[in-house]
């Protein structure tokens, strides 16, 4: 899923659990996380909307959410709102590349693994 300033609010408002990876092409750690995000999007398809928001092409929504520099930043929404402590910032190193997004998915949603 590709999130943009045009579609992101509507997707979040749908009430489905949503996890967004805020990224940029110049961000090495963001690029390293990309395959993990793609893998998790396939794994959770139909249960959680997981996708990417390019902060170079879109700025309005990331500014609203105080994402000033992707490193990467992962943020989750549940039932259309941003619950407390539903954000992960900073580099993830293997095996955290997979653990960090999975933990965010678990805490941002009601899905149990």
Which residues participate in catalysis according to the annotation?
27, 30
DSSP symbols for the chain: -EE-TTTHHHHHHT-S-EEEEEE-TT-HHHHHHHHHHHHHHHHTTTT-EEEEEETTT--HHHHHTT--S-SSEEEEEBTTB--TT-EEES---TTHHHHHHHHHHHHHSS---
């Amino acid at each position: 899923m590709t999130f943009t300033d045009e579609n992101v609010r509507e997707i979040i408002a749908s009430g489905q659990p949503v996890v967004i990876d805020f990224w940029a092409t110049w961000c090495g750690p963001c690029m390293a996380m990309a395959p993990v995000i793609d893998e998790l999007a396939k794994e959770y398809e139909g249960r959680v909307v997981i996708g990417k928001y390019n902060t170079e092409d879109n700025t309005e929504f990331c500014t609203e959410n105080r994402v000033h520099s992707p490193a990467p930043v992962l943020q989750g929404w549940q039932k259309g709102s941003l619950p407390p402590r539903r954000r992960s910032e900073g580099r993830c190193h293997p095996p955290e590349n997979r653990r960090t997004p999975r933990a965010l998915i678990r805490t941002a949603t009601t899905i149990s693994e």
